[in-house]
Amino acid sequence: MLEQLIARMGITIRALLREKGTPYAELGLGDPSLTVDQLLDAMLAHPILINRPIVVSPKGVRLCRPSEEVLDLL
C-alpha cells in the first residue's frame, strides 16, 4: 500500500523518508545503493521514518508538508 501511495503522489521513496528524529542514520538509510524494497522494508519496520501527513482525497494523493498543501486537495 505504501508503494502505491508513493506512485500516486509521483515522488521518489527518498522524498518520503524522514531523516531528523528517526533511526535514519543509525540504519544507514543514506546509502545510495539501497534498493526501493530495502527502503520500504525500513519504513514499514520503523513508521517514524515516513514523512506525514499523507492525504488521500478524490482530487489525489499528496504529502502535505507544509500543511497548507492539503488545501489543494479539499
pLDDT of residue 38: 98
pTM (two decimals):
0.84
pLDDT of residue 69: 81
Provide the domain limits for residue 19: 2-73
**All three cell numbers of 74:** 479539499
At 33, which CATH number? 3.40.30.10
What's the domain count of the chain? Answer: 1
pLDDT of residue 3: 93
What stretch of H or E contains 52?
none
Q: For residue range 11-70, list pLDDT tens digits in order.
A: 999 999 999 999 999 999 999 999 999 999 999 999 999 999 899 999 999 988 878 888
